[in-house]
Amino acid sequence: MINNASSTNTKDNFKIIQIIYFAILAGLIVFAVMAYFIISQSVDQPNENLLNIFMFLIPAFVIVMIFLSRFMYNKISQQVNGASSLFEKIGKYRTAKIVSWALLEGAGLFSIVAFIITHSDFFLIVLFVIVGAFILSKPSIEEFLNDFKIEGNEQDELTR
């Protein structure tokens, strides 16, 4: 009976991680769609001076954030030792994913704000790159098993 309850808890933890993932992704996409419709109906003049600056700044920032996102995930996942319990490992996995997604979301929000200020569709294309990186970082039990070196009884508990 205890094994069944703990198996349910681990699966519930992964459902929570997936809900957080989809909430962040949906928020980013909804904000981009709202910005697009607001800008398409706007009569304001775009800021050309900032366009020249943002054309170099935003892509560089996005590239740095994508690499930093992966770096931070790896850094946090390496902090887990083999003696940690399964719940501690899941907690570290959730933390690593949220930090990773926050960096990607920050770059995405910066790109959307640049789009709002400059009215340049280039920044929506940059946003699609960020969304692609975000989609590639979707949480999965397989990734957790590999990255956190889950073996034996713990692996059986997760895959039931």
Q: Give the number of other Cβ atoms within 10 Å of residue 79's Cβ.
A: 10
Q: Residues 53, 120: contact at Cβ < 8 Å?
A: no
| Predicted pLDDT of residue 83 | 67
Q: Identify the pLDDT of residue 148.
A: 82
**Residue 1: its pLDDT value, please?**
35
Query: What is the helix (H) or strand (E) element at residue 78, kind and residue range?
Result: helix 48-78
Do residues 15 and 136 touch, judged by C-beta distance below 8 A?
Answer: no
Cβ proximity of 65 and 104 under 8 Å: yes
pTM assigned to the model: 0.87
Task: For the chain, give every domain's residue range.
Answer: 2-159
Residue partners of 123: CB distance under 8 A and separation at least 6: 54, 58, 111, 112, 114, 115
Integer-rounded Cα radius of gyration of the chain: 19
Q: What is the per-residue pLDDT for 14?
A: 87
Give me the phi and psi of 9, to 5 degrees please: -60, -40
The pLDDT assigned to 2 comes to: 42
**Which residue ranges of the chain lie beneath pLDDT 70?**
1-8, 82-83, 155, 158-160
Task: For residue 14, give every residue at least 6 positions away whose Cβ sits within 8 Å of its Cβ, in sequence order, or none.
Answer: 90, 139, 141, 144
